[in-house]
Structure 1
Amino acid sequence: MYEAWFSKPVSVTTGIGGDIRNLLNAQQAVDLLGGNWRDAGSQKHRSALRACRQAINGGISADVAREVFVEAAREAHILVE
């Protein structure tokens, strides 16, 4: 098992203050997805969690998981674009 590093960080806003956090790998994405996710349980949230876990286990590339995570973050309105 490894972190599955993204080729480019994903910037998201977190917390009440809207702090910007740059996620560098699938493990960091899983940690965020498993926490207080705004749209927890949505199809995109579940897909992102599954994809990031697969990337950590070497089943898919980190950048495929990154793209799925970006879509979930966009749906949750936390993606910094």
Structure 2
Amino acid sequence: MQPGWFSKPVVVSVGVAGATRHLSNTQQAIELLTTHWRDAGSLKHQSALRACRQATSGDVPPDIAREALIEAAREAHILVE
């Protein structure tokens, strides 16, 4: 499995202090989605996790996963726009 690199990083604010993270690939996104996600289990969270795993396997383009990640981050109110 290879990380799928995004065309542009996704910037999110995580943790109690709101630390900013720049997610550049699907591996980084999977790590965040599985360990530090506020609304884990929501439909958009599940969709983003599935898309990132598929992109890591080469089944979908990384930017499809990026868009799903953006939607999940927006829903969780952690997307930095």
Q: TM-score, normalised by structure 2?
A: 0.98
Percent of pairs identical after alignment? 63
| SS across alignment from 1:34 | helix
**Deviation, structure 1 residue 14:** 1.0
d(CA) in 1 for partners of 2:36, 2:71: 17
**3-state SS, counterpart of residue 38 of structure 2:** coil
| TM-align CA RMSD | 0.5
TM-score scaled by length of structure 1: 0.98
Can you give the 5+ residue segments of structure 1 that lack an aligned partner in the other structure? none
Q: How does 1:4-43 map to 2 (within 5 A)?
A: 4-43=4-43
d(CA) in 2 for partners of 1:36 and 1:66? Answer: 17
| CA displacement, residues 12-68 of structure 1 (integer Å, 9 cap, x when unaligned) | 001111011000001100000001211100000000000000000000000010000
Residue 4 of structure 1: how far off its partner (Å):
0.2
Q: Which segments of structure 1 move beyond 4 Å, counting only runs of 4 or more?
A: none
Aligned ranges for residues 1-81 of structure 1 at < 5 Å? 1-81=1-81
Number of residue pairs aligned between Structure 1 and Structure 2: 81
CA distance in 1 between counterparts of 2:15 and 2:39 reads: 14
